[in-house]
Chain A
Amino acid sequence: MGVVTVDLKMLNVWVEGLIRGGRVFGVQAKNNRFQFAPLLMAANLRLDYDVTVIPPKKYMQPAREDLLTFEGAAGFETCLDQEPFILIGVHPYDVAAIAQMDAVFSGDNVDVHYMTRRKQATVVACDVQAASANVFAGCMGTATVDKGFDILLTRVGDHYVVDSRTHKGEVILGNLVKAPKADAVSLARREQVWEDNRKYLRKHELRMAPETLPTLLEASCDHPVWEEKSQRCFSCGSCNMVCPTCYCFDVRDDVRWDLKGGARVRDWDGCMLRDFATVAGGHNFRKNRADRYRHRYYRKGKYMPAKIGHISCVGCGRCISACVTKIANPVEVYNRLLEVR
């Protein structure tokens, strides 16, 4: 597994080759923002993006997916999406988020739907070239990554350092194996990119080490911040939808037009939506906005660390940008907990 340098032209040719070879999703401009979408030509790829509106989790856990099909009253059959695909341009914080989702869906009860897609995915990560308005990955230890991807691209001046770390990476490297080995200067410049990203991807400054969050939250159940902030919460769930580590889902049946069969479908769901904890019969176990609001931050900062060993916030800042009433900044919430009530 080598580390090579390629110029922009060569990179383009390589991406064109990947597109001809199969399913490729890459970051592209849409209006004046960015999104992951099917990549039809290399020229559309925007590795200089700041952040995508929706994280790449949608390729492993789509917003809507068929889990099962059924014909008649019983006879449920599993649906699996087994077509290989390549994701190009995944930022380090999103790589970290995917690693967390892997832990969730492979842990104890293996989710074969997620895992099948995940196994088919080749992740081409890319170091951040432009900081988004609300990124704070630098505070979360996710401004750079050293695992969880197959290939890492880092722009240094007018060329890219291409670092393949896995067998999957090698497979798609193709002609790039013949590219010149990265020299000491390029590697040093890459180090500099990493150092800068760790330093500057901090549009908000978390005033604590992320590892201390579970303990801080432990003592913060009655902190006024939950009531204060949630007073302006519309329970719209936008923060859930754009979050790369939110994976809660709903399951429902979709009946075909002939009413003889259909699919059991899984959709994204969100704990901030009003009826997330409502049971049949109408009792809502989390009916207060403040309780739902607190639940989200506890889940990210306390419950998920207990489950998978990581704070479930990678500092992408998407929730901050998505929230209409500007109450979803995790850094503000957590910093506020440090203040005496």
Chain B
Amino acid sequence: MAQTRSSQEKDIYRPEPATLAKVQPVTEMESFFELRLDSGKELGHMPGQFVEVSVAGIGEAPFGVSSSPTRQGSFHLLLRRVGNVSSALHRLKAGDKVGIRGPFGKPFPVDDAMKGQDILFISGGIGLVPVRSVIQYVFDHRRDYGAVTILFGTKSPADRLFVDETDEWKRQPDTVYLESVDRADASWKGNVGVITTLMPKITIDPVRTVAVICGPPIMYKFVLMELNKMGVPSERSYVSLERHMKCGVGKCGHCQINGLYACQDGPVFRYSDLIPVREAFR
């Protein structure tokens, strides 16, 4: 068959070149990546959106953007080494090239439903990655939001992410930051237990609070039950769901959650919209 090449035609599957500005191991399994588009343009995302990252010869995979668009000049990812693409990315170093498509998907409603509200962030493990984008956004527009509460849970102290930055978060005005680990080690003086054990320790005004939740699939059910007990309405809770987002543009079918497409209708969903959606929390 005659194959012709064309760079002119707009192709939703063609990544644009980007360069790794920084690669830094964070934990045994995770590394931090700073990227710049070779075009010199900003990524143009909103907190909660994701990009498809390509390593030529290996493939492409979706990752939530971890930095806020308020911090210009580059954008951040933090990846766990679990798939082909994330493993290949871990072998790269500053200066290496990757491909980027996106940003895709619905962001957290930072400029509408969240504005003027108290914000409760609940994240488990690498769920903190996309949530960090929202946290930075909120701190960069601090006066637009009320009290901020951040809960972060990991398996062990060594799995904690953005450790320097979370120290800064603690010092922000009108902000509470609490963390917990499932299993402590000798050095750990903090809370031990799953993330929901932090929830009774906080005081929030449930009708003024918007909850931002991201974590492993198992976490949602328990966190949402707890939020319900605390009186936070499901209309005010937002979750970011992981799915197999192959194309990011509503075509490949892999990301479907019943009739919803995680890549277009999500990955951020209002919890109340998901209550009738059976495949949402699995």
A-side residues, CB < 8 A to B, are 66-70, 72-83, 104-105, 107-113, 116, 221, 247-253, 255, 259, 261-262, 264, 269, 271, 276-283, 285-286, 291, 295, 298-299, 302-303, 306
Contacts and interface: CB of A to CB of B under 8 A. Distances in A.
8 shortest A-B CB distances, which residue pairs? A280-B83, A248-B253, A281-B82, A74-B97, A74-B17, A73-B97, A109-B249, A78-B11
Given A251-B60, A280-B86, 10 more contacts: A69-B5, A70-B56, A75-B17, A76-B54, A109-B249, A111-B12, A111-B251, A253-B59, A286-B282, A298-B259
A253 B15 CA distance: 13
A315 to B, nearest CB: 21
B247 interface: yes
B61 interface: yes
Contacts of A77: 5-7, 14
B252 A80 contact: no
Nearest to B12: A109
Interface in B235-282: 242-244, 246-247, 249-254, 256-259, 278-279, 282
Contact of B61 (A116, A249, A280): A280
Contacts of A298: 258-259
A72 B13 contact: no
Contact of A303 (B55, B59, B99, B256): B256
Given A81-B3, A291-B279, A108 B250 contact: yes
Contacts of A279: 83, 242-244
Nearest to A117: B1
Contacts of A299: 253, 256
B253 A113 contact: no
B259 A306 contact: yes
B5 A79 contact: yes
Interface in B6-37: 6-7, 9-15, 17-18
A181 to B, nearest CB: 38
Given A66-B3, A77-B7, A302-B259, A281 B83 contact: yes
Interface in B39-53: none
A73 to B, nearest CB: 4
Given A72-B56, A253-B59, A286 B259 contact: no
Contacts, number: 160
B90 interface: no
Secondary structure at the A interface, as helix, strand, loop or mixed, is mixed
Contacts of B247: 249, 251
A185 to B, nearest CB: 43
Contacts of A81: 1-4
B4 A250 contact: no
Contacts of B258: 298, 303
B279 A285 contact: yes
Contact of A277 (B54, B61, B84, B254): B254
A112 B11 contact: yes
Given A78-B7, A253-B58, A83 B1 contact: yes
A73 B98 contact: yes
Nearest to B248: A109
Nearest to B216: A283
B244 A285 contact: yes
A107 B249 CA distance: 11
A139 to B, nearest CB: 24
The CB with the most chain A CB atoms within 10 A, among B18, B57, B258, is that of B57
A112 B10 contact: yes
A66 B4 CA distance: 11
A249 B252 contact: yes
Contacts of A82: 2, 4
A264 B254 CA distance: 18
A24 B57 CA distance: 34
Nearest to A73: B97
Contacts of A276: 244, 254
A306 B249 CA distance: 17
Given A73-B96, A285-B279, A255 B57 contact: yes
A80 B82 contact: no
Given A78-B7, A251-B60, A280 B85 contact: yes
A250 B244 CA distance: 11
Given A251-B60, A259-B57, A281-B82, A67 B13 contact: yes
A109 B248 CA distance: 10
A230 B244 CA distance: 23
A286 B279 contact: yes
A264 B278 CA distance: 34
Nearest to B257: A285
B252 A250 contact: yes
Contacts of B242: 279, 283
Nearest to A280: B83
Contacts of B5: 69, 77-80
Nearest to A259: B57
Most buried by A among B9, B56, B83: B56
A70 B97 CA distance: 12
A73 B7 CA distance: 17
Contacts of B57: 70, 253, 255, 259, 262
B36 to A, nearest CB: 13
Given A76-B56, A251-B13, A280-B82, A269 B7 contact: no
Contacts of B279: 285-286, 291
B231 interface: no
A277 B243 contact: yes
Contacts of B82: 280-282
B9 A78 contact: yes
Contacts of A76: 14-15, 54, 56, 99
Nearest to A277: B244
